[in-house]
Amino acid sequence: MKEIYTLADLENWGEESTESGLPIRLGVLGEPIEHSLSPQMQNAALESCGLQMRLARFAIGPRDLGQALKLFARHHFVGLSLTVPDKIAVLNFLDEVDENAWAIGAVNAVRFQGGRLYGYNTDGAGISDAIRSGVLGDASLSRWPVLLLGAGGASRAIARQCALEGCPKLFLSNRTRERAEKLAAEISKVNEATTVTVVDQEPGALRQALTGARLVINATNVGLRPDDQSLISRDSLTRDHFVYDTIYNPARTALLAEAEAAGAVFANGLTMLLYQGARAFELWFDRKAPIDAMRAALDVT
């Protein structure tokens, strides 16, 4: 089994299998994809359930997605996970998209069934499960005011989840303010009880929002690179804040370092990865995911 497969590999797909002879019937797609922890997590789940197949990484971007999906179907794949930058482009190639994924405008899990392709989005439920698992103490999407950084694919899923769960107040802050405004207008329609406020992405405005918000969620790319500065500084945070960064690699972003310095409760995105993956597994196989095996494979404590 290769570390990464390409479209060329799919075009010449023969008896591609793992070292133990199990066929590859699941894939995680994105570009770049080498850092994905999905194989580690999902292969532990497959093994734990005695399912005779494995998942591999595929470096496939939006341009090759249509062709790749035809080939996956031809080679009897069961399902796919999608990551950046494929989550939106995939919408063009699916036979059915579930209501939640449609409203978010992005798909991160695909199931092949009866010659048809079904799309879902498990990111919102993934962060919800993560927070309910207690990774951030008693933090809650349904009871606490939330400051959400970002307005891209991941933020759209999280913002919708906050509204679905009845979050009383949602502050949205994005580098490109118009995107946050567009998202705010959509989210206001999901639940009238959720008050949505757009906040400029600059220190003064963020500090002000943090006097009202208790839970902070970063869903921007800021923090992925080691030299990225935190969007929020320690003096805007207190011990009463709870900070979740959807980034898990690096494990400690600049934002989480600021949270720690302020005495806030904080966690990285490994638990969101875990729970969105568990939900994808359940969609692929119509059975409960072996969460303990997946958790152990990711070394989530």
Give the residue numbers marked as catalytic: 87
Instruction: Tell me the CB-side half-sphere exposure of residue 192, using CA atoms within 13 A.
Output: 0
Angle (CA) 162-165-171 rounded to 5° is 25
Looking at the DSSP bridge assignments, the partners of residue 97 are 119
Instruction: List b or e across 82-98, with b for residues whose CB sees 16 or more CB atoms inside 10 angstroms.
Output: bbbebbbbbeebbeebb
Smallest distance from the beta carbon of 272 to ligand ATR, in angstroms?
12
Q: Work out whether 150 is an interface residue with ligand ATR (CB under 6 A).
A: yes
Q: Which is nearer to ligand ATR, 51 or 180 (CB)?
A: 180
Q: Work out whether 36 is an interface residue with ligand ATR (CB under 6 A).
A: no
The kind and range of the H/E element at 76 are none
Separation CA 293–CA 112 (nearest Å): 24
Contact with ligand ATR (CB under 6 A) among 60, 94, 141, 154: 154
Selected range binding ligand ATR among 73-81, 114-122, 140-148, 153-161, rule: CB under 6 A: 153-161
- Which whole-number Å values give the CA distances from 234 to 137, 230, 241, 243, 265, in the listed order? 20, 9, 11, 11, 12
Selected range binding ligand ATR among 31-39, 73-81, 175-183, 284-292, rule: CB under 6 A: 175-183
Tell me, rounded to whole angstroms, the distance of Cα 78 from its chain centroid: 20
Q: Work out whether 153 is an interface residue with ligand ATR (CB under 6 A).
A: yes
Q: Which is nearer to ligand ATR, 155 or 268 (CB)?
A: 155
Separation CA 43–CA 133 (nearest Å): 22
Look up residue 152 and give its two tokens. Answer: 């891209």
Q: Work out whether 175 is an interface residue with ligand ATR (CB under 6 A).
A: yes
Q: Work out whether 26 is an interface residue with ligand ATR (CB under 6 A).
A: no
> Hey, which residues between 178 and 237 contact ligand ATR (CB under 6 A)?
179, 219-222
The kind and range of the H/E element at 105 are none
Q: Work out whether 151 is an interface residue with ligand ATR (CB under 6 A).
A: yes
> Hey, which residues between 37 and 96 contact ligand ATR (CB under 6 A)?
84, 87
Contact with ligand ATR (CB under 6 A) among 38, 174, 218, 271: 174
Select the residue whose beta carbon is closest to ligand ATR and give its number: 152
| 150 phi and psi angles, rounded to 5 deg | 115, 155
Q: Work out whether 30 is an interface residue with ligand ATR (CB under 6 A).
A: no
Smallest distance from the beta carbon of 177 to ligand ATR, in angstroms?
8
Binding site for ligand ATR (CB under 6 A): 84, 87, 150-155, 174-176, 179, 219-222
